[in-house]
Each structure stands twice: as structure tokens, then as C-alpha cells.
């Protein structure tokens, strides 16, 4: 469609990238971006951009991607538990400071001819434009004021986003046990090297631990950064931090908010990025989604004859990938919220559990990227091995003890194993003796959820658990067995 005047609200990654792409696609159009902050002030530390996102950015705008990659830092990934370390190579995961990313995007937006206006908070309704792109973040006032059918799910766990003044060697997942409970960090380097660099240091915990440590009170008392929590965590994570400081920047304990909207547009206004949807930080995809939305929206505006058709196309094209990622993120969030329960697993099996937590990384594929980790995990599971490539599923199932002949059947069709329905099933399992078999729907999402529930049942009720599932899902079942989610399987169809 022909565009003459577009306003973009919000100068985060989504707004800045959309503004540049819009201007490049419509050189005659006036594109004005309004950002309430100043150009060099931002919250947060580093963000990660994975290989798939980089490919999409490369296709849409190679110049910008080149600068992003040049300013970023590639890193592998390690999990460290009780002195054991599992390392996974990751050639194309780039960490970049949010400030750097925004500086690159601001420069490129300006170069394309976008009119960048900083320092004033604006309302979408007051902007004079035929299309208003609302990229005003997770707390979007535009979303609140408009008719987008928004809903927000609040996570159970608590997280705190801070940084440290040295570059870790790798992205690190590391739990620590304190007298109050378990805290776990997801940390990754994003600039410099060693002592001259910086890393993001995100820490999460469960509500009971948070309360026992007194952080409910410090959270209530926090205006800027929660220094009491930062000092406590700096001590707790002294090993991973190698004596370095934890640095706050408006750092406080939060619960993750998953935003969903029934509609992404309302009249001339269209939502983009965190304003439209969020996905739990543990899959590191918020920036990716915002920038990919920008690509999708600008494509749709170019291809369609009018605004309504363009907004409909944008949503039709983007919604399936957004919802798929939100579902992966939901599973990932539940896994991390229950993470302390699994610390008895050897680190390699824990790494397999991590990689298979959302059902999107098959064990065979993971074995090809991290053969040593998977070989160790399989040997820990099967007592011998490891098996040849391509034979992992059969090998795991052959080493799994047959389910007992008599088992109590518990029907389980639920979305969240940690919901009150999940509590009730755990209680029923604990009320009797002997093994249980969890039965329910045969579709893959239902079976994956059942394996998560099985893990909860076997740990909390202390009974052996089998999951009933179709033979077509044997690969998922093998991953679940190696991850310690269940003891046995009951195949409901012939192999």
C-alpha cells in the first residue's frame, strides 16, 4: 500500500527495526519514531540472538546484521552442578549489549531517514499518522487503552535481571543451594573479554525460597535496585562470579508476565513485539520476536493494497510462529520453575533434560551437536554404551525396565502439571502403594505434559511411574526416560 505518514511508538529493538525497514521500503513516507527515553539510556544488560534469527535479519537487512554481529560476542553453553560441568558448543549464538544493539539500530534508522524523537512519553491516540506501530513494550499503554483482547499470565517463580563486570567464558546455567533454598543463574557474556568484559546475570528462584530469604520485604522496599538481594546473591554466586560484583540497573524481583492478544490491530494501530506478546526469558526470544515482527509487518504493508488487509496478513503470517514459541516458552518456564527438584541428576542427564524440556530438540539431534554430553547421559542411564548414532531411541527403550504387570491407572489430561489438578493426581498417587500408569489423550502435547507430570509424581509421591503413549512418540519417551521424568513406558500402539 502507499504510505505517507507512519508513527512508531517505542524505540526498543522492535520499533527501531520496524522504522528503518518501513523507511527503506517506502522512501517517500514520513516515518517518525517516538521514544520516551534518551538515546543512550536503557534498562537491562545483554540479549542473545540465535542462528535462525540472524538468518532472517540477514535476509531483511544485511547491513544492520553485520554490525550487530560485529558488536556481539559468540559463546558456548555450560551447565554446572555440584562441580560437574556439561558443555555444549553453539557456533552461532551471539550475545550483545542491549545498549549496543539499540545504538546500532538507532544509527541505521537515522541513516535510512527515520525522524527519531527522544525524551517524550506519547500516546498512540495523539499521533498524527495513517498507521501507528505500537512497539511500546511489555507494559504497553496502547494495548491497555485499545481493543486487542489482551490477557496476561503471571509466572509462579521470581527472577531478577542483573549484570557483572567480567565476561564469562560461556553462557552458564548454575544453581546454588543456600540456607533458604535454591537460586539458579542463567548468565552469558555479551561484551569484551575476561576482566574487561561484561555478562548478563539473570537469577531465578521459587516463591518459598524468595520469602525465606526475606526478599518479599526487600522487593516491597525497593525503589531503584534491590541492593540487599544483590549483595546476598553476589555472595551466593561467588564461585561463578569469580569474586566479581553483581551490578543492578533498576534490578528488582519480578514474576514473568506472558502477554497474549486476540487481535494485534485496532483501527490504524498495530501492536508489535513485547506489546503484542511475550515469551519466557528462558528461551531467549523476546528481541528475536520483536525484530521478526518488524520484518513481517513491513512485508505485509508492502504487499497489500490497504491497511486492514496488511494488518490481517501480518497477523496471519506472524501468529503461528509467535504462538509456537509461546508454547515452547510456557513449557520451558514450567521446567525452570521446578528446576531445584532435579538437582540429584548427574549434570549430563540434567543437560539432556534441559534440552528436551519443551519437546523441540530431538535427542538424536542433540547427540550430533553434543556427542560427549549425550554419550555420558546415556551411559549413566543404561549402565553401558553409548549406542551408535541413529539408534538412541531403541537403545534407551531396550534398557528400560518393563512396567509392572499391575499398576494403578490415573487419568491425566491437563495443561499444567503444577496446577491444582496436578496436585490432586500427585495426592492420589501418594495415597496408595505400588506403581501408577498415567493415561490420557494420545496427541503429542498431551503426552509431553504427561511425562512432566510423571516426573512430579515419581519425585513427590515416591512411587514408580509409567506413561501410556502411542509408539509414534517413542523418541519423546526415550528423551523423557533419560531425563528422569518417568520409570517405565506403556506403548498404546504397535511399534
Ligand X SMILES: Cc1cc2nc3c(=O)[nH]c(=O)nc-3n(C[C@H](O)[C@H](O)[C@H](O)COP(=O)(O)OP(=O)(O)OC[C@H]3O[C@@H](n4cnc5c(N)ncnc54)[C@H](O)[C@@H]3O)c2cc1C
**Grid cell 543492578 in the structure block, residue:** 248
Asked whether the beta carbons of 405 and 435 are under 8 A apart, the reply is no
Asked whether the beta carbons of 454 and 486 are under 8 A apart, the reply is yes
Nearer to ligand X, 42 or 464 (CB): 42
Per-residue DSSP letter, 402: P
Question: In angstroms, what is the minimal distance from the CB of 138 to ligand X?
Answer: 6
For 8, the 3-state DSSP assignment is strand
Nearer to ligand X, 188 or 381 (CB): 188
Nearer to ligand X, 273 or 422 (CB): 273
Q: What angle do CA 8, 11, 12 make, to 5 degrees?
A: 120
Question: In angstroms, what is the minimal distance from the CB of 93 to ligand X?
Answer: 10
Instruction: Kindly list the distances between the CA atom of residue 104 and the CA atoms of 66, 68, 71, 100, in Å, as whole numbers in the listed order.
Output: 10, 7, 9, 6
What lies within 8 Å, CB to CB, of 460 at 6+ separation is 426, 430
Nearer to ligand X, 272 or 466 (CB): 272
Asked whether the beta carbons of 11 and 119 are under 8 A apart, the reply is no
Other C-beta atoms lying within 10 Å of the C-beta of residue 91:
8
Question: In angstroms, what is the minimal distance from the CB of 126 to ligand X?
Answer: 10
Q: For residue 94, what are the β-bridge partners?
A: 49, 74
Per-residue DSSP letter, 404: P
Tell me which residue of 491, 484, 488, 486 sits closest to 381, measured CA to CA: 484
Nearer to ligand X, 163 or 387 (CB): 163
Question: In angstroms, what is the minimal distance from the CB of 49 to ligand X?
Answer: 6
Asked whether the beta carbons of 273 and 135 are under 8 A apart, the reply is yes
Binding region for ligand X (CB under 6 A): 9-15, 34-37, 44, 47-48, 121-122, 135-137, 141, 159, 161, 202, 273-275, 281, 284-288, 290
Question: In angstroms, what is the minimal distance from the CB of 131 to ligand X?
Answer: 17
Nearer to ligand X, 96 or 457 (CB): 96
Question: In angstroms, what is the minimal distance from the CB of 37 to ligand X?
Answer: 5
Nearer to ligand X, 128 or 494 (CB): 128
Q: How far is residue 294's CA from residue 314's CA, in Å, rounded to a whole number? A: 9
DSSP string, 93-116: -EEEEHHHHHHHHHHHHHHHT-EE
Asked whether the beta carbons of 361 and 482 are under 8 A apart, the reply is no
Q: For residue 188, what are the β-bridge partners?
A: 200
Instruction: Kindly list the distances between the CA atom of residue 132 and the CA atoms of 57, 120, 276, 378, 398, in Å, as whole numbers in the listed order.
Output: 23, 16, 14, 53, 59
Question: In angstroms, what is the minimal distance from the CB of 426 to ligand X?
Answer: 30
**Grid cell 537515522 in the structure block, residue:** 110
Nearer to ligand X, 14 or 155 (CB): 14
Question: In angstroms, what is the minimal distance from the CB of 144 to ligand X?
Answer: 11
Q: For residue 480, what are the β-bridge partners?
A: none
For 26-44, letters b (16+ CB in 10 Å) and e give: beebbbbbbbebebeebeb
Question: In angstroms, what is the minimal distance from the CB of 151 to ligand X?
Answer: 18
Nearer to ligand X, 248 or 440 (CB): 248
Q: The dihedral of CA 157, 163, 166, 170: what is its sign?
A: positive
Question: In angstroms, what is the minimal distance from the CB of 438 to ligand X?
Answer: 33
Nearer to ligand X, 278 or 483 (CB): 278
Nearer to ligand X, 136 or 348 (CB): 136
Question: In angstroms, what is the minimal distance from the CB of 176 to ligand X?
Answer: 19
Q: The dihedral of CA 35, 39, 40, 44: what is its sign?
A: positive
Amino acid at each position: 500500500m502507499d504510505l505517507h505518514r507512519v508513527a512508531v511508538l517505542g524505540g526498543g529493538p522492535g520499533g527501531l527495526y520496524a522504522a528503518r525497514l518501513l523507511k527503506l521500503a517506502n522512501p517517500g513516507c514520513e516515518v517518525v519514531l517516538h521514544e520516551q527515553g534518551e538515546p543512550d539510556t536503557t534498562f537491562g544488560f545483554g540479549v542473545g540472538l540465535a542462528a535462525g534469527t540472524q538468518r532472517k535479519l540477514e535476509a531483511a537487512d544485511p547491513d544492520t546484521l553485520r554490525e550487530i554481529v560485529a558488536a556481539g560476542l559468540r559463546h558456548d553453553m555450560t551447565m554446572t552442578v555440584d562441580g560437574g560441568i556439561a558443555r555444549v558448543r553453539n557456533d552461532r549464538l551471539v550475545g550483545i549489549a542491549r545498549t549496543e544493539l539499540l545504538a546500532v539500530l538507532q544509527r541505521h534508522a537515522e541513516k535510512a531517514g527515520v525522524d527519531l524523537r527522544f525524551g517524550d512519553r506519547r500516546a498512540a491516540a495523539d499521533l498524527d499518522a495513517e498507521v501507528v506501530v505500537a512497539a511500546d513494550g511489555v507494559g504497553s499503554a496502547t494495548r491497555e487503552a485499545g481493543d486487542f483482547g489482551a490477557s496476561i499470565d503471571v509466572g509462579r517463580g521470581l527472577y531478577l535481571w542483573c549484570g557483572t563486570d567480567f565476561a564469562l567464558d560461556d553462557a552458564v546455567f548454575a544453581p546454588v543451594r543456600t540456607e533458604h533454598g535454591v537460586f539458579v543463574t542463567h548468565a552469558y557474556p555479551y561484551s569484551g573479554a575476561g576482566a574487561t568484559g561484561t555478562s548478563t546475570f539473570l537469577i531465578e528462584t521459587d516463591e518459598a525460597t524468595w520469602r525465606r530469604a526475606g526478599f518479599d520485604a526487600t522487593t516491597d522496599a525497593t525503589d531503584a535496585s534491590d541492593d540487599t538481594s544483590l549483595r546476598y546473591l553476589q555472595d551466593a554466586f561467588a564461585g561463578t562470579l569469580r569474586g566479581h560484583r553483581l551490578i543492578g540497573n533498576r534490578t528488582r524481583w519480578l514474576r514473568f508476565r506472558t502477554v497474549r492478544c486476540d487481535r494485534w490491530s485496532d483501527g490504524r494501530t498495530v501492536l508489535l513485539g513485547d506489546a503484542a506478546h511475550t515469551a519466557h526469558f528462558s528461551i531467549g526470544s523476546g528481541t528475536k520476536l520483536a525484530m521478526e515482527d518488524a520484518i513481517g509487518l513491513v512485508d505485509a504493508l508492502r504487499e497489500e493494497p490497504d491497511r486492514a488487509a496488511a494488518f490481517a496478513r501480518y497477523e496471519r503470517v506472524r501468529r503461528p510462529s509467535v504462538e509456537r514459541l509461546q508454547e515452547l516458552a510456557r513449557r520451558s518456564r514450567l521446567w525452570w520453575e521446578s528446576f531445584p527438584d532435579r538437582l540429584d541428576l548427574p549434570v549430563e542427564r540434567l543437560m539432556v533434560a534441559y534440552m528436551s524440556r519443551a519437546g523441540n530438540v530431538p535427542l538424536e539431534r542433540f547427540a550430533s551437536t553434543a556427542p560427549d554430553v549425550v554419550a555420558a547421559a546415556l551411559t549413566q542411564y543404561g549402565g553401558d554404551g553409548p549406542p551408535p548414532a541413529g539408534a538412541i531411541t531403541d537403545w534407551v527403550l531396550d534398557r528400560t525396565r518393563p512396567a509392572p504387570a499391575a499398576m494403578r491407572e490415573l487419568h491425566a489430561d491437563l495443561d499444567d502439571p503444577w496446577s491444582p489438578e496436578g496436585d490432586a493426581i500427585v495426592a492420589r498417587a501418594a495415597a496408595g502403594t505400588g506403581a501408577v500408569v498415567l493415561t490420557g489423550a494420545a496427541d503429542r502435547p498431551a503426552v509431553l505434559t504427561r511425562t512432566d507430570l510423571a516426573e512430579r509424581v515419581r519425585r513427590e509421591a515416591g512411587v514408580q511411574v509409567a506413561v501410556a503413549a502411542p509408539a509414534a512418540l517413542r523418541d519423546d519417551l526415550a528423551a523423557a526416560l533419560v531425563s528422569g521424568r518417568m520409570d517405565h513406558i506403556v506403548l498404546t500402539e504397535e511399534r
